Chain A
Amino acid sequence: MKTLKLRTLFLPFALLCCLLIVTPAYAMHISEGILPFNWALVWFIVAVPFVAIGLRKVKVMASKDLSTKPLIGLMAALVFVISCMPIPVPTAGTCSHPCGTGIAAILVGPFVSVVIAGVALLIQALFLAHGGLSTWGANVVSMGVVGSFAGFLTFRGLRLMRMNLVIAGFAAGLLADWATYLATSVELASGISGNAPFLPLFWKILIAFIPTQLPLGVLEGAITAGMINLLYKKRPDLLVKMHVIKAEEVSA
């Protein structure tokens, strides 16, 4: 029982330790006012249907099975904490953060993951001077939509190819992170290029992200794989319920 208590206290304690060393927001979200109004509106229009479908899915999930609520709660807290935690990358001399949407999409589905990202981004924009209200749509599309679907599709694709759970999780986290920054580069280049050609600026921004995001993607992959492995050991029934693994894999 004592060991159990120690184990259960470890995660919040570890998270708290990480957050106690947090410094002000150094991250990748597109800041307030960076995108012109028309582009900000475009990304809002793209984001809203995903958020609406996601909200409906949350409602359906919660009404069908109350036990999914703690999982959604855990993912929401994890995405919020991870996506505002600057991590220094010594090889680049800069800071950035993982997104957490890959793991959320695998466990609760990509649409619910979009809602989680949307809520996290809204709180960060309102109170943490992180991202922006006018750029909320663009940030939801890059981190929420692109990150979640990239992670989810990678994971499902690799699992269909009978890839090991941990490797599939690692690849999903890695690609979710890199896809997010790819999408941010598209949004930024399209928004600020004006009359200049899009592609040269897009490549310039993408290449500038690489020194920081390449290693951070690996870290995000490791977090995703570790989380899936942990849940597989602790709650394999939950992974079966969320269609992450098949029931036969647990008994095997």
Chain B
Amino acid sequence: MNWGLGSVKKSLFIGIIALVFLMSYQHPASSADKWSGVDESVVEKYAKENGREARKPLINTDQGDLLLFVFLLAGTLGGFAAGYSWRMLVSEKEVKSFKPKRG
């Protein structure tokens, strides 16, 4: 079997990823705290253990579905800004560079 440098690199890469996932394995969280963020499961948990608790934010959008709405809005605006900038960076340059030369 001929093992080129490319396949060794690929195997190494897959090996590292597999190792990282195996190393990070722990028992899945209980359904109550499943998919909680590390801000809750780590930051706030250890802060609470040491007598510090998170305060409500200045503008509290964490009320019902309001937070979902602001996240959706922020995501849409962020996505639009990223897409617009990407188009300016890539497509306009491509159009210019692919313009047929005259003469």
Contacts and interface: CB of A to CB of B under 8 A. Distances in A.
Per DSSP, chain A at the interface is helix
B52 interface: yes
A77 B82 contact: yes
B60 A129 contact: yes
A252 B61 CA distance: 53
A71 B89 CA distance: 7
Contacts of A93: 26-29, 33-35
Interface string B55-97: 1111111100001101110111011111111111111011100
Contact of A26 (B27, B39, B46, B52): B39
Nearest to B78: A81
Given A92-B26, A93-B34, A235-B89, A80 B39 contact: no
Point out which of A84, A210, A211 has the most chain B C-beta atoms below 10 A from its C-beta: A211
Interface string A188-214: 100111101000010011001111111
A8 interface: yes
Nearest to B93: A235
Interface string B36-62: 111111111111001111111111111
A84 B76 CA distance: 13
B100 to A, nearest CB: 13
B1 interface: no
Contacts of B21: 91, 214-215
Point out which of A18, A70, A204 has the most chain B C-beta atoms below 10 A from its C-beta: A70
B46 to A, nearest CB: 5
B90 A234 contact: yes
A196 B50 CA distance: 9
Per DSSP, chain B at the interface is helix
Point out which of B43, B50, B83, B87 has the most chain A C-beta atoms below 10 A from its C-beta: B43
Interface in A1-35: 4, 7-9, 11-13, 15-16, 18-20, 22-35
Nearest to B90: A234
B41 to A, nearest CB: 5
B68 A28 contact: no
Interface residues of A, number: 79
Contact of B75 (A4, A19, A132, A218): A19
A121 interface: no
Contacts of B74: 80, 84, 123, 127-128
Nearest to B34: A93
15 contacts: A8-B83, A11-B83, A20-B72, A24-B62, A28-B43, A70-B85, A71-B89, A88-B35, A91-B25, A94-B41, A95-B36, A128-B61, A129-B61, A133-B58, A208-B41
Interface of A: 4, 7-9, 11-13, 15-16, 18-20, 22-36, 70-71, 73-74, 76-78, 80-81, 84-86, 88-96, 123, 125-129, 132-133, 184, 188, 191-194, 196, 201, 204-205, 208-215, 217-218, 234-235, 238
Given A16-B79, A28-B39, A94-B37, 14 more contacts: A15-B78, A23-B71, A27-B37, A28-B38, A30-B43, A32-B54, A34-B44, A76-B81, A86-B37, A92-B26, A96-B37, A192-B47, A205-B42, A209-B38
The 10 closest A-B pairs by CB, nearest first: A26-B37, A12-B83, A19-B75, A33-B55, A93-B29, A77-B82, A74-B85, A31-B54, A73-B85, A77-B81
